[in-house]
Structure 1
Amino acid sequence: MSPIYLDNQATTPMAPEVFDAMLPWLRDNFGNPHSPHVLGRKAAAAVEVAREQVAALLPDNGRLIFTASATEAINLAFGAVRGMASQGRDQIAVIDTEHAAVRDTALWYGKQGFDTVLLPVDGEGLVVLEELEACLSEKTALVGAMLVNNEIGVIQPVEQIAEMAHRAGALMLCDAVQGFGRINIPQQADLIALSAHKIYGPKGIGALWVRNGIDLPPLIHGGGQEQGVRSGTLSPALCVGLGTAARICAERREEDLAHIAALADEARSLFGDWTVNGSPDRRYAGNLNLRRDGLDVGRLMSDVRGVAFSAGSACASGSGRPSHVLAALGLEPGQIKSSIRLGFGRYNTAQDVQQAARLINQAAENQLS
């Protein structure tokens, strides 16, 4: 019997409509979208339809570049700082609680001669805007801020951050992976990264939206496909999958939001003995990060095999590193080790939440008794 799946920040199950849309491009329509013959043109047309479906959820003054992941999209976006360094702009500022795709990339640029600043957050996980203001100068090239934090669900004031960055003459990069298709996308951002498998689409494809006028050096060299910055043959099936997933998110947005909010309310009522990590109000309802002091979450996850949940980011879980996000909130190591993340999605039910809460709470009581 499959466990109850409550880890929708790590990945989401593929929507049936997405699978059906992708299947012909996996089985029958095998043309290379970069070939000039009829099969190639048919595949290229499908790619462009998908591009339009994704772009419909983004600002209208930019272009969309398909990538293999949001991590690749973020690495591609960081390339914008290379040209700015020659103009004396060699500072990169990102929020300390950013996903490793942004945070570690910024730190890598710090080893290449850039001045990398990790901006602090308050006890609720929100960026300290005064610290950002004090950091910005004519040397700032790029400011990075997540829309929705992947570990604690906090929604950052991205529009305000972008305005502050622009006043300093800097670009603003937004990792929108956990918010795309679910909440409003910041219109002021200059670079926006997203991923298909977080919105009930396939793994192996993401995208970067780039505001008009921003030049990016190629990240992958070769045949010059995908607007000359990301060489390699595109997969029409994956592009169609992302496009279809984005279209369905747009069509079901209000229904999905109401459903997930109801699940979150149910969960909060059932985990009354737990403390919410991060802002209780400025958050995406589908992400609930909780702690119960004294718990060993590693043992808890082993004891609760009937529920698929997380102790934090799936991307960092194998590293053995404690959560940098929870540490930035000021939590002690013991509190970090007693925290779990529950992620609710489109296909979860109230019964899922009730059964999961019963199993987790029972195991927690057994451990603490």
Structure 2
Amino acid sequence: MEVYLDHAATTPINKAVLEKMLNYLSREFGNPSSIYKSGRNAKLAIEDARNKIAAALKCKCDEIFFTSCATESNNWAIKGCAFNNKDKGNHIITTSIEHESVLKTCSYLEKNGFDVTYLPVDEYGLISIEDLKSAITDKTILISIMFANNEIGTIEPIKEIGEIARKNNIIFHTDAVQAIGKIPIDLKEYNIDLLTLSAHKINGPKGIGALFIRQGLEIETFMHGGSQEKGLRAGTENVAACVGLGVAIEMAMDDIEKRVIKVEKIRNKIINDIYLNIPCCKLNGHSIKRLSNNINFSFTDVNGKILVYMLDKVGIKASSGSACSCGTTKTSHVLLAIGLPEKLATESIRFTIDENITEEEINYFIKNLIFIVDNLRNHNDFSR
């Protein structure tokens, strides 16, 4: 049996998404910058996708800009804002648990004259609102804090952060890659100026993302060349992928409240099953303020990477950390930031589910997890 428990890393393309995309990979292959019919049709398809994203986020369609991925969107949002506002100040506030695409972008900016404050988090991965207020100076031009953490699933107090940013006339960017499709998002209510999203986390294609830029906010051009994306992000558009993102986000936001409740029940059952059957384990992240599909556990005396490998041998796909950092020997910066000792941090594993997981799959997963953890702890062989 195959059980896929790594939806935070990537998701399978929905059949309806793929069907819509195929038309623009074959019949309607025109360049959207061309003025003949197939080009015009491609351009219309892009704008239809843009409208779908705007409707899902309750914003204007001309506030949505297509990118190649969330990493590009994060780079553009942070660098674009920093360089466009360097005459006003050089201070940026972020957190110690951001995705690498944010942390490394901030590190780059530090080498180019910017000052970055990395807010600490508590044992659950939450920032302190008081720490945020204290970090603000008259040089602060940007606050960039993720909506929900990709490893431990903790949801940050985004509404309060947005209110503080707006009150202090500071631009607020949030990486919402993991939150889209799992949390209803109201950009105006949360005072969000810039928001990053990605298609392949919501059953869309890889290689396409988007950046919301609030109307009236000016940031530096990221890609220079043609006039695509209002001249701010040049390059021939990936029409099929844009279409895929539009369909995927429309489906992800449809009936989202009911889906979240369903997934939370499944998540809680799995957490309870693990606690009841496996001793010496710890749930990482907040027990309530967490993404509906995220389960991150540390199993004492069980190396996370080895556990991932052994689960894979029986058809269960999981992760020992962020997909973007897999293959490295580094201990998770997120788990270290929430205060886990380095050994316990290496003994962690992430399971991320969706609403389609079956009871049979859950039972198969739990049965094998119990068996493998017990055998790894006792250094037994795996013959049954």
TM-score band, normalised by the shorter chain? over 0.9
Q: What are the superposed Cα offsets for residues 115-156 of structure 1, whole Å, 9 maximum, x if unpaired? A: 011100011100021111110021101111111110000000
Could you say which residue in structure 2 is the equivalent of 1:31? Answer: 30
Could you say which residue in structure 1 is the equivalent of 2:174? Answer: 174
1:208 alignment partner, SS class: strand
Q: Where do 5+ consecutive residues of structure 2 fail to align?
A: 379-384
After TM superposition, give the deviation of residue 255 of structure 1 in Å: 4.1
RMSD: 1.3
Q: Which amino acid aligns with 2:302?
A: L
Structure 1 residue 351 corresponds to structure 2 residue 360: yes
Identity over aligned pairs, percent: 36
Could you say which residue in structure 1 is the equivalent of 2:330? Answer: 321
Q: Is the CA contact 2:81–2:220 (under 8 Å) kept in the aligned structure 1?
A: yes
Q: Which amino acid aligns with 2:29?
A: F
Q: What are the superposed Cα offsets for residues 189-214 of structure 1, whole Å, 9 maximum, x if unpaired? A: 10000000000000010000000111
Could you say which residue in structure 2 is the equivalent of 1:206? Answer: 209
Q: Which amino acid aligns with 2:44?
A: A
Q: What are the superposed Cα offsets for residues 236-273 of structure 1, whole Å, 9 maximum, x if unpaired? A: 11111000001111224234323312220221121113
Quote the Cα distance in structure 2 between the aligned partners of 1:350 and 1:257: 17
Q: Which amino acid aligns with 1:315?
A: C
Could you say which residue in structure 1 is the equivalent of 2:301? Answer: 294
CA distance change for structure 1 residues 351 and 262 in 2, over 3 Å: closer, same or farther? farther
Deviates more, 1:71-80 or 1:247-256: 247-256
Q: Is the CA contact 1:300–1:363 (under 8 Å) kept in the aligned structure 2?
A: yes
> Which runs of structure 1 show a deviation greater than 4 angstroms over 4 or more consecutive aligned residues?
none
After TM superposition, give the deviation of residue 186 of structure 1 in Å: 4.7
Structure 1 residue 109 corresponds to structure 2 residue 109: yes
1:36 alignment partner, SS class: coil
Q: Is the CA contact 1:266–1:353 (under 8 Å) kept in the aligned structure 2?
A: no
Quote the Cα distance in structure 2 between the aligned partners of 1:337 and 1:319: 12
Q: What are the superposed Cα offsets for residues 74-101 of structure 1, whole Å, 9 maximum, x if unpaired? A: 11111111121112x1001101111111
After TM superposition, give the deviation of residue 111 of structure 1 in Å: 1.1
CA distance change for structure 1 residues 204 and 18 in 2, over 3 Å: closer, same or farther? same
Q: What are the superposed Cα offsets for residues 277-297 of structure 1, whole Å, 9 maximum, x if unpaired? A: 011111112011111111112
Structure 1 residue 66 corresponds to structure 2 residue 74: no
Deviates more, 1:109-118 or 1:292-301: 292-301
Q: Which amino acid aligns with 1:300?
A: L
Quote the Cα distance in structure 2 between the aligned partners of 1:348 and 1:174: 29
Quote the Cα distance in structure 1 between the aligned partners of 2:87 and 2:298: 46
Could you say which residue in structure 1 is the equivalent of 2:81? Answer: 80
Could you say which residue in structure 1 is the equivalent of 2:19? Answer: 20
After TM superposition, give the deviation of residue 103 of structure 1 in Å: 1.5
Quote the Cα distance in structure 2 between the aligned partners of 1:351 and 1:146: 34
CA distance change for structure 1 residues 250 and 298 in 2, over 3 Å: closer, same or farther? closer
After TM superposition, give the deviation of residue 318 of structure 1 in Å: 2.1
Could you say which residue in structure 1 is the equivalent of 2:382? Answer: none
1:3-18 paired onto structure 2 within 5 Å: 3-18=2-17
Q: How many residue pairs get matched? A: 367
Quote the Cα distance in structure 1 between the aligned partners of 2:359 and 2:240: 33
Quote the Cα distance in structure 1 between the aligned partners of 2:370 and 2:168: 49
After TM superposition, give the deviation of residue 351 of structure 1 in Å: 2.0
2:117 alignment partner, SS class: strand
1:1-369 paired onto structure 2 within 5 Å: 3-60=2-59, 63-78=63-78, 79-87=80-88, 89-187=89-187, 188-272=191-275, 273=278, 274-304=281-311, 305=313, 306-369=315-378
Calculate the TM-score normalised by the size of structure 1.
0.96
